[in-house]
Copies of this chain bind each other. A is one copy, B any other.
């Protein structure tokens, strides 16, 4: 039986590409409209795993997803990095000169802003995501409408690449996480993700980080998010090198729990390479 994988978007979205990169093409892929639905579908068992963008190398964290993984009782079981390449797509036979309107996700516009400054007369219309904008261009079948989306979206929706690789920056990667109902314990795991909050007193963040240092666990990422109802207090999202099967990792987490006012283990998994 094929693995059921849930992602946000439509076929041709970067999330679908990430799902294929991590699990291979032979899966049953379930697309949903909102990030939160990915969590709901996996929680309810309608999908075995979910695939979600967590951060982009240029624009930073996907804060909605960061907030959601703290709320749902699911675990990060893997990660995958996807290079983000944007293309200007139109219907077959269209040319750049005919374009008057361009559709994309707001981040698509932002990440191609240098290319777009040469075409300031184009109306830029924000859309739910890059792949849905490709689907819309296909449906509209107008040579005046273009979208900014991936090569895969061009293939799926039968669109023509009017201009390839229009992104500002070639170091544009998105880190996707794979979420599931249980932590998959393995000797190969080398990365731990946690979230915690701290007593509102001087030095508490430093003290919490010293626990990693003392145990020779390398801090890979630190991100803070506001705690609703507690103005200017924060959840700290930390990734560090470790494996829950190793004593050193478990001891460090035990110590950390004593210092925190809130602690949640988000996952333990094998780190991915950027390629």
Chain A residues with a Cβ under 8 A of chain B: 55-60, 63, 126, 169, 171, 173, 175, 202-203, 205-206, 209-210, 212-213, 218-219, 221-226, 228-232, 274
> Contact at B225–A222, with CB atoms within 8 Å?
no
Q: Which of B206, B222, B225, B228 contacts A213 (CB 8 A)?
A: B206
- 10 CB < 8 A contacts A-B: A55-B226, A56-B226, A57-B232, A58-B226, A59-B226, A171-B229, A171-B231, A203-B218, A231-B274, A232-B274
User: CA of A58 to CA of B64 in the docked complex: distance in angstroms?
Assistant: 12
Copies of this chain per assembly: 2
Q: Which residue of B lies closest to A209 (CB)?
A: B206
CA distance A55 to B232 in the complex (A): 9
Q: Chain B nearest CB: distance from A44 CB in Å?
A: 21
Q: From the candidates B55, B60, B203, B226, name the one contacting A57 in the complex (CB within 8 A).
A: B226
Residues of B within 8 A of A210 (CB): 206, 210
Contacts of A231 in B (CB 8 A): 57, 171, 173, 274
CB distance from A112 to the nearest CB of B (A): 14
Cα A60 to Cα B232 in complex, Å, equals: 9
Q: Contacts of A212 on B, CB cut-off 8 Å?
A: 206
Which B residues are in CB contact (< 8 Å) with A58? 226, 228
